[in-house]
């Protein structure tokens, strides 16, 4: 088993490049699955504490604390929205050049909807000579998303709400487009990557920016789509 890629480490925090398909921590739904918290604990030989989360199918920057005190300090930074998160995603269709999605989301059906905002901009587009449904060609956009809040599945739900679902999203996406990427590009993952996390360090008060490189299969895909 290869070690997790460590992007940043000091005496208080450690950040990894979480692979797609890996849970952040054990859940009742998938107790037997491999998860990042245990892998990192075993790799470092010490306890680690969850600061924030990424969806299981999302890859990229994931930050942990090395003590409960450091975890509390960083959670306060997240809760006060003094963190900037950047994601790259591939979505169905050609989006507008930029926008803000302000649409409240429910984490569970019986709970009240919570305020949720995602700013975004389009970076590139592509049109493929592949028929999907009644359309002779398929169009896709590469977008950068900057969620201002941190609701469950926020980016995935928000882009589905504006009719540009993420490619590879088996919950909120569209199966025909997911199959196109599987069949033509061998992409079997959600195309959502947490590429950057910026914050002011709670102990040093210095700005910190953590970046994760794109996974190999994503860089290969982007090259094939002309998004180099």
Q: Would you name the residues annotated as active-site residues?
A: 55
Parallel, antiparallel or unpaired: strands 192-200 and 59-65: parallel
On whether the CB atoms of residues 22 and 36 are closer than 8 A, the answer is yes
Instruction: Kindly state the helix (H) or strand (E) to which residue 216 belongs, with its residue range.
Output: helix 216-224
Which among 39, 80, 78, 30 has a CA at the least distance from the CA of 57? 30
Q: What angle do CA 166, 82, 57 make, to 5 degrees?
A: 25
Give exposure, 138-163, as e/b (b: 16+ Cβ within 10 Å).
bbbbbbbbbbbeebebbbbbbbbebe
> Of 8, 116, 106, 123, nearest to 66 (Cα)?
8
């Amino acid at each position: 088993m290869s070690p997790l890629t460590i992007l940043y480490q000091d005496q208080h925090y450690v950040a990894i490049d979480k692979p797609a398909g890996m849970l952040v921590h054990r859940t009742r739904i998938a107790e037997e699955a491999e998860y990042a918290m245990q892998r990192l604990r075993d790799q470092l030989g010490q306890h680690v504490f969850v600061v924030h989360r990424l969806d299981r199918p999302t890859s990229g920057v994931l930050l942990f604390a090395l003590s409960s005190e450091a975890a509390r300090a960083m959670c306060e930074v997240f809760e006060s929205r003094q963190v900037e998160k950047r994601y790259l995603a591939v979505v169905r269709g050609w989006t507008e050049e930029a926008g803000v999605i302000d649409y409240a989301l429910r984490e569970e059906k019986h709970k009240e909807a919570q305020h949720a905002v995602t700013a975004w901009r389009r970076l590139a587009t592509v049109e493929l000579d592949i028929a999907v449904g009644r359309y002779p060609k398929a169009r896709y956009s590469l977008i950068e998303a900057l969620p201002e809040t941190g609701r469950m599945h926020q980016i995935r739900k928000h882009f589905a709400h504006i009719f540009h679902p993420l490619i590879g999203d088996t919950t909120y996406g569209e199966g025909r487009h997911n199959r196109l990427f599987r069949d033509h590009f061998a992409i079997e993952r959600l195309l959502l990557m947490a590429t950057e996390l910026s914050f002011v360090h709670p102990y040093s008060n210095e700005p910190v920016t953590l970046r994760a490189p794109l996974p190999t299969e994503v860089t290969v895909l982007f090259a094939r789509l002309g998004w180099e």
